[in-house]
Structure 1
Amino acid sequence: MSHRKVTSLEVAAKAGVSQSAVSRVFSGASASEKTAKKVRAAAQELGYRPNVLARSLITGRSRIIGLIVAYLDNQFYPVALERLSHALQEQGYHIMIFMASARGPDVDRVINELLDHQVDGIITASVGLTDALTERCEKAGIPVVMFNRGQQDRRMPEVTSDNLSGGKRIAEFLCAGGHERIGHISGWSGSSTGQDRAAGFAAGLRDAGSALIAQLDGMYSREGAVKAAREMVEVHKTDALFVGNDHMAFAVMDTLRSELGLRVPDDISIVGYDDVPMAAWAAYDLTTLRQPVNQMVSATVGLLMDMINGESTARKIQIQGPLVVRGSAKIPKG
């Protein structure tokens, strides 16, 4: 069985067109509908596949977007990655996924690898960039958009949910439910999402004439959330908890019920943040602030496409999501 590669010259001969016409059809350059139809029919018959790498050298576009994600334990990210991938494919792009710790040398290594792969753009999910990396991407002409994470650098475009207003709405809901000892198990305090949700929550409590009993950093990890849940109940005697994301909230609910023998919401109310699919499971029935992932993905891809086409400058987009009321927290009367 022969594995010889079919050449574009053979396709041209079969279709009765020039070799340059074959190149135009597969590079996305202008070609008549009639020519394109003949070329694609000949290519299919002969089993021809265009050389994507060679084409990228000609067009200056790899049609690849690099996607950096810190972790996939949080159920929000597999959902977001799937939708980002579909949205980019609809634009004619493929994604190259790299895992990296939230900040530091690991991110430097991954960014360098992506630049070496000549990607057309980069999306970072819950990953921070140093000033040096931001400058390197700028010099290389590679646009970067931050997804679900922000930072102070104004050059860096970002798309997040409105974490401040989300935190405030959760505070209003818990105060209206008559809770008096309200605590917060925050996301990693070194992240913009963790900081903004906590700041919004504290402000909402103050506006409602209440105060935060305690705040502990759950580090966006299951282990951190379990440890914080024990302290919140045993030391601070909380009757309601805002947990910084659903991934931690599930761990908190498991600990309260199985280890500490508490009833949710009869003994303690729990509210999360994200509204991942598991939040609607009967086992959790979690009240949570929904991150509008479809709108966030659409805004991220739209912003990146604008930047690739030289049509946009850095922007910071915040999108509000609804509070989804289920059964894990006492529902205010009326």
Structure 2
Amino acid sequence: MAAKLTNSTKSELFAAKKRHVTSYDVAQYAGVSQSAVSRCFKSGGSVSRKMRERVMKAVEELGYQPNAIARGLITRRSNMVAVIVSNLNYYPEVLSQLSARFTERGVHVLLFTLDQESDVGRILDQVWQYQVDGVVVAAHLAPGEIEAFNKRNVPLVFYNRAYSDIPVSSVSCDQVEGQRILVNLLVKNGSHKSFAVVSGPADSVVSMQRTREAMNRLHDLGIEDIVQVSGDYSYDSGRDAVDRVMAQRGALPDAIICANDMMAFGCMDQLRYGYDLRVPEDVSVVGFDGVRAAGWSSFNLVTIQQPVDRMAEAAVQMLLDRVENYVLPPEKRIFSGVLRNGATIRN
């Protein structure tokens, strides 16, 4: 236990408020050991209620702020994680959920964004510089890029990306199941005989999975009148897709299946305002993701809603478990999406 403070020593410590206050200053002012101060700021640290109150009183009076960098040097952790996402405009809800859950656990988030998933290599060079404790990636990584994480002992969890041939941890929505639900819904009443499928970026694994399953399921159900065009997940590319489908077919199909909601919104508006058609009376439109705007009355889109809150919680916990224990084996969790039965499919 530190020696009892004299009035002159207390005056000196109050003067410390004019400079950067250290944990040593707090320990002297509170009359406790420096290790006791450290335990008060350590998650799960062993310290009595009386001791904590004593230290916190000194902290408040001296205006002390723990030095995260110094603490990182001691614990050999940065207390930071990186989140890498492609197509930021379409991930606001995911980012909000991930950030909130990391913040609840006292972990800081560094965000790295990609214009294209293929740009991830240059981003990784930046990630290594920050010495993050772990990374959540919503983009595709090549095997060599995944191996770079293993060499550095940096835990990695993929968000909405699944690998069948590489042992990595991932949290994803069941793209195949969701797309089958949408196609079955469109075909079951017999009013849809011709289709257009609007895929996302060529380097998006999620888009490839959704597009492939939509095409396979349509063929399985005996549908042959299918046109496929590509977009880039944006609203404008959805509007352009309608024009390209029209140019290829000479007429619009009975239904348009979009690889995400944003392109579905663009398709709907181009049908309405570019061709003066009604959705769904003239053309049915479906999307995938279940973003908040899908519920707006102007869209009321039929889509597969991903359980973002549950997926984000699983990704955060999965990553932090491996920060604590790097040798935990890879884990894969797949969540079923939920049909949002809006008003964009005709009966």
**Structure-2-length-normalised TM-score:** 0.88
What RMSD in Å do the two structures reach over aligned CA positions?
2.0
Distance in 2 of aligned mates of 1:119 and 1:197: 32
1:322 is aligned to 2:335? no
**Matching residue of 2:131:** 118
Distance in 2 of aligned mates of 1:274 and 1:90: 26
1:73 is aligned to 2:89? yes
> Are the aligned partners of 1:188 and 1:219 in contact in 2 as well (CA < 8 Å)?
yes
> Which runs of structure 2 are paired with 1:177-216 in the superposition (5 Å)?
177=189, 178-211=191-224, 213-216=226-229
**Matching residue of 2:256:** 241
For residue 171 of structure 2, what is the amino acid of its counterpart?
V
Distance in 1 of aligned mates of 2:276 and 2:85: 36
**Matching residue of 1:40:** 56
For residue 238 of structure 2, what is the amino acid of its counterpart?
A
Distance in 2 of aligned mates of 1:238 and 1:157: 40
Q: Which runs of 5+ in 1 are unaligned?
A: none
**Matching residue of 2:5:** none
Deviations 1:64-114 (A, max 9, x none): 11111222222xx1111011011111222111112223334x423322222
Distance in 2 of aligned mates of 1:112 and 1:56: 21
**Matching residue of 1:160:** 172
- Is the deviation greater in 140-149 or in 43-52? 140-149
Deviations 1:134-167 (A, max 9, x none): 1221111111111123345513322111000111
**1:61 aligned counterpart, secondary structure:** coil
**1:273 aligned counterpart, secondary structure:** coil
**Matching residue of 1:146:** 158
Query: How many corresponding residue pairs?
Result: 327
Distance in 1 of aligned mates of 2:167 and 2:63: 46
> Are the aligned partners of 1:202 and 1:211 in contact in 2 as well (CA < 8 Å)?
no
> Are the aligned partners of 1:265 and 1:329 in contact in 2 as well (CA < 8 Å)?
yes
Q: Are the structure 2 counterparts of residues 187 and 325 from structure 1 closer, same or farther at C-alpha, using a change threshold of 3 Å?
A: same
Pairing partner for 2:102 from 88, 108, 115: 88
Distance in 1 of aligned mates of 2:61 and 2:278: 66
Pairwise CA distance, 1:33: 3.1
Deviations 1:211-253 (A, max 9, x none): 3511112122333322221122343231101111011111111
- Is the deviation greater in 25-34 or in 10-19? 25-34
**Matching residue of 2:281:** 266
> Are the aligned partners of 1:265 and 1:330 in contact in 2 as well (CA < 8 Å)?
yes
> Are the aligned partners of 1:70 and 1:99 in contact in 2 as well (CA < 8 Å)?
yes
For residue 25 of structure 1, what is the amino acid of its counterpart?
C
Pairwise CA distance, 1:257: 0.9
> Are the aligned partners of 2:193 and 2:225 in contact in 1 as well (CA < 8 Å)?
no
> Are the aligned partners of 1:148 and 1:158 in contact in 2 as well (CA < 8 Å)?
yes
**Matching residue of 1:11:** 26
**Matching residue of 1:298:** 313
Deviations 1:23-66 (A, max 9, x none): 23223343333322221221012100010000011011221111
**Matching residue of 1:278:** 293
> Are the aligned partners of 2:160 and 2:173 in contact in 1 as well (CA < 8 Å)?
yes
Pairwise CA distance, 1:11: 0.8
**2:167 aligned counterpart, secondary structure:** coil
**Matching residue of 2:148:** 136
Q: Bigger radius of gyration, 1 or 2?
A: 2
Pairing partner for 2:47 from 6, 11, 31: 31
Q: Are the structure 2 counterparts of residues 3 and 149 from structure 1 closer, same or farther at C-alpha, using a change threshold of 3 Å?
A: farther
**1:66 aligned counterpart, secondary structure:** strand
- Is the deviation greater in 315-324 or in 43-52? 315-324
Q: Which runs of 5+ in 2 are unaligned?
A: 1-14
Distance in 1 of aligned mates of 2:102 and 2:120: 22
Distance in 1 of aligned mates of 2:117 and 2:77: 28
**Matching residue of 2:73:** 57
Pairwise CA distance, 1:203: 3.1
Distance in 1 of aligned mates of 2:253 and 2:289: 22
**2:69 aligned counterpart, secondary structure:** helix
